[in-house]
A and B are shown apart, each in its own frame.
Chain A
């Protein structure tokens, strides 16, 4: 069952005449991991960043088509490209969280980092905040390492810990979808392994879309894979089929390393 549906989606950056995404159609399945792969410049990050409208931080982008998010209360899909009000953007981003390539701890304590999104949601009760921070840190497999220094600055953590902190921070607000934009490309292999394990565990609670340059990573953790090339979606299927039996020649060339 899809939780998000991208339909005939075009995206154009400001000052560029040609669209960077040309008629993309694909679903993000509920409680599954969908990997977006493809060579640099294929538009995979652009697509991911459209799914929570983070592009709107910068003016002048043009959207066409539809990106729909399932409203769990009404069981109906709503087009997120129609969002205009600040409040609705905030709601969207609480439902669709994002993890970035470089860890982005805020310059504050570990506790305040994880509590940041919760406070924005209006949770003020101290014990509730504490419980949810603890749950989130446990969910991100970080609790054991930091439980005795929650009031210390998050900047003192290692890169891998910082990335798990960012995941905890995103998980804390209980999003429906999590977008990962190359979450391990700045990390060492051991931290990468920990994050991959974590992402797989997270899919019990959230639906996940992940952009990755690393094809092994896509094949290891994802259920579905979308291969993109020069702004087009070349192929979307179950990960196994994409990697073992691709229908398109382009896909096969890419995953076998013939170009990239």
Chain B
């Protein structure tokens, strides 16, 4: 009887794994097949208005970059605060808030930024897009900073204190250095997360067919353009959307693998 149950459970779990992986494989194969046929290096040289993707890729990176400039320091400071300084209710409140923010649907964050920035400033802008991405990023950074700092053994802090260092010096000279690799990985993964986001940008930055460095107007975005292009009737547009999706996937994959590589090397 037990053997029978064992076999049934094994069969069921294998089946679910196969079904899950099959869909993942299907997505990847379609993406690569459709993406590669429409992919050519010209895409990196021309802007969308000329049938390329250059402005979109650069725009996406600029917005994610500005989001990182805002989100990484804020998230790290908050993470350090709740782990090292915060005591009791206050820190718990921030930690809960950050957990809730992390699971907030990204479209809601987009809607929020639309209400508090886009409407008052009179229109979509690259800056609003970057803010929306930063809001997505902050809880992830808080969370990884917090948990990476919690992994630093308390003896290391005590050893610093026992040498006459102040708490602040111990945190900044020793604890953060010890947690550096983990925090860096978290930062990379959160960047990979926001670089592929569409919903927060949909009505904050929108997108633009032209190359632009002006953050006060609608800003070129690869993900939003994929959304737009995929909705267009012409095959050429949809092919371009496939190529863009392929490039985006490769970008996210590379960042993720870098993150994993860093973590793995740490343990050697």
Q: How many residues of B contact A (CB 8 A)?
A: 21
Judging by beta carbons under 8 Å apart, are B164 and A91 in contact? yes
Checking A54, A90, A104, A121 against B166 with a beta-carbon cut-off of 8 angstroms, the contacting residue is A90
Judging by beta carbons under 8 Å apart, are A120 and B164 in contact? yes
Write out, one digit per residue, whether chain A residues 94-138 have a CB within 8 A of any chain B CB (1) or not (0): 100110111010111000000011001100000000000000000
Checking A59, A101, A117 against B164 with a beta-carbon cut-off of 8 angstroms, the contacting residue is A117
Shortest C-beta distance, B168 to chain A (Å), equals 10
Q: For the complex, what is the distance from the CA of A59 to the CA of B178, rounded to whole Å?
A: 24
- Residues of B contacting A90 with CB < 8 Å? 164-166
- Residues of A contacting B163 with CB < 8 Å? 93-94, 97, 116-117, 120, 169-170, 173
Q: Is the CB of B158 closer than 8 A to any CB of chain A?
A: yes
Of B153, B156, B164, B173, which is in contact with the most chain A CB atoms at under 10 Å from its CB?
B164
Write out, one digit per residue, whether chain B residues 154-171 have a CB within 8 A of any chain A CB (1) or not (0): 011111111111110100
Q: How many residues of A contact B (CB 8 A)?
A: 26
User: Which B residue sits closest to A116, measured CB to CB?
Assistant: B163
Checking B87, B153, B165 against A120 with a beta-carbon cut-off of 8 angstroms, the contacting residue is B165
Q: Is the CB of A76 closer than 8 A to any CB of chain B?
A: no
Q: From known contacts A106-B177, A116-B173, infer whether A100 and B158 are also in contact, taking CB-CB under 8 Å.
A: yes
- Residues of A contacting B180 with CB < 8 Å? 107
Write out, one digit per residue, whether chain B residues 66-103 have a CB within 8 A of any chain A CB (1) or not (0): 00000000000000000000010000000000000000
Shortest C-beta distance, A190 to chain B (Å), equals 23
Main secondary structure of the interface of B (DSSP, over half): helix
Judging by beta carbons under 8 Å apart, are A57 and B155 in contact? no
Q: Is the CB of A208 closer than 8 A to any CB of chain B?
A: no
Shortest C-beta distance, B11 to chain A (Å), equals 47
Q: Is the CB of B184 closer than 8 A to any CB of chain A?
A: no
Q: Is the CB of A148 closer than 8 A to any CB of chain B?
A: no
Judging by beta carbons under 8 Å apart, are A93 and B162 in contact? yes
Of B159, B160, B163, B166, which is in contact with the most chain A CB atoms at under 10 Å from its CB?
B163
Write out, one digit per residue, whether chain A residues 78-96 have a CB within 8 A of any chain B CB (1) or not (0): 0000000010001101100
Checking B87, B156, B162, B177 against A98 with a beta-carbon cut-off of 8 angstroms, the contacting residue is B162
Q: For the complex, what is the distance from the CA of A173 to the CA of B165, rounded to whole Å?
A: 12
User: Which A residue sits closest to B166, measured CB to CB?
Assistant: A86
Q: From known contacts A106-B173, A107-B177, infer whether A98 and B164 are also in contact, taking CB-CB under 8 Å.
A: no
User: Which B residue sits closest to A179, measured CB to CB?
Assistant: B162
Judging by beta carbons under 8 Å apart, are B174 and A101 in contact? no
Q: From known contacts A54-B158, A57-B158, A100-B159, infer whether A121 and B164 are also in contact, taking CB-CB under 8 Å.
A: yes
Of B87, B161, B169, which is in contact with the most chain A CB atoms at under 10 Å from its CB?
B161
Q: Is the CB of A228 closer than 8 A to any CB of chain B?
A: no
Judging by beta carbons under 8 Å apart, are B159 and A120 in contact? no
Of B87, B159, B166, B174, which is in contact with the most chain A CB atoms at under 10 Å from its CB?
B159
Of A57, A94, A169, which is in contact with the most chain B CB atoms at under 10 Å from its CB?
A57
Interface on B for A, CB 8 Å cutoff? 87, 153, 155-167, 169, 173-174, 177-178, 180
Q: 7 A-B pairs, CB-CB below 8 angstroms?
A: A57-B158, A100-B155, A100-B158, A100-B159, A104-B159, A106-B159, A120-B164
Query: 6 other contacts beyond A52-B162, A120-B164, with CB at 8 A cut-off?
Result: A86-B166, A98-B159, A104-B153, A104-B155, A106-B156, A116-B165
